[in-house]
Amino acid sequence: VGEVMAIGRTFKESLFKGLRSLEAVKPLRLEDVPNDELQRKLARPNSQRFSYITYALEHDWSIDEIYRLSKIDPWFLDQLKQVMEIQREVEAVPGYAVVPTADAVQASSRDESVPRLENIPLDLLRAFKEAALSDRRLAYLTKRTEDEVRAYRKSLGLIPVYKRV
């Protein structure tokens, strides 16, 4: 048991800053969780419940159903759902396609199912960052390095600002 303090201008920003500061806690990569197990994990507070909540949202469970089991206020669940929807939009960005050349059509070495960083609209990239999703997360989604994401973001003028508390 522990605690973390994170300050942000929005709940979403504070939540994800706090989660990133939990060095010892790694998010679970859940696959095919049976409904009865998911219901148990949502109903009982545990160190992995956040991962199970995101899993339920990813699998189109309603906020009302998650609330009924977890007793977590629907406002907080909706905030998390909004962040996940932004991430889904990024994941839906067109990936690497065939690149025409002078001699022939050459396929990119990158997977077409992976969102292409340069195809992410500026307003979506801004929403991603305003939701406090990290460059590391964007690098993971686009199969780029964190340094590449940071350099690209800075080239667009998306730089962090620090407000006085």
Which CATH number characterizes residue 81's domain? 1.10.1030.10
Residue 65 and residue 145 in one domain: no
Is 103 a member of any domain? no
Residue 84 and residue 121 in one domain: no
Residue 12 and residue 45 in one domain: yes
Low-confidence ranges of the chain (pLDDT < 50): 97-108
Q: What is the largest CA-CA distance in the chain?
A: 62
pLDDT of residue 165: 66
Is 43 a member of any domain? yes
Residue 74 and residue 130 in one domain: no
Residue 83 and residue 2 in one domain: yes
Residue 65 and residue 127 in one domain: no
pLDDT of residue 151: 94
Is 85 a member of any domain? yes
Is 88 a member of any domain? yes
Mean residue pLDDT of the chain comes to 84
Is 99 a member of any domain? no
Distance CA 147, CA 49 (A): 31
pLDDT of residue 21: 79
Residue 57 and residue 115 in one domain: no
Is 13 a member of any domain? yes
Determine the structural domain holding residue 83 and report its residue range: 1-92
**Which tokens is 141 given?**
């989604």
Q: What is the pLDDT of residues 77-102, one digit of tens each?
A: 999 999 999 999 998 888 854 444 44
Structural domains in the chain (count): 2
Is 39 a member of any domain? yes
Is 9 a member of any domain? yes
SS (H, E, C) the chain: CCCCCCCCCCHHHHHHHHHHHCCCCCCCCCCCCCHHHHHHHHHCCCCCHHHHHHHHHHCCCCHHHHHHHHCCCHHHHHHHHHHHHHHHHHHCCCECCCEECCCCEECCCCCCCCECHHHCCHHHHHHHHHCCCCHHHHHHHHCCCHHHHHHHHHHCCCCCCCCCC
pLDDT of residue 79: 95
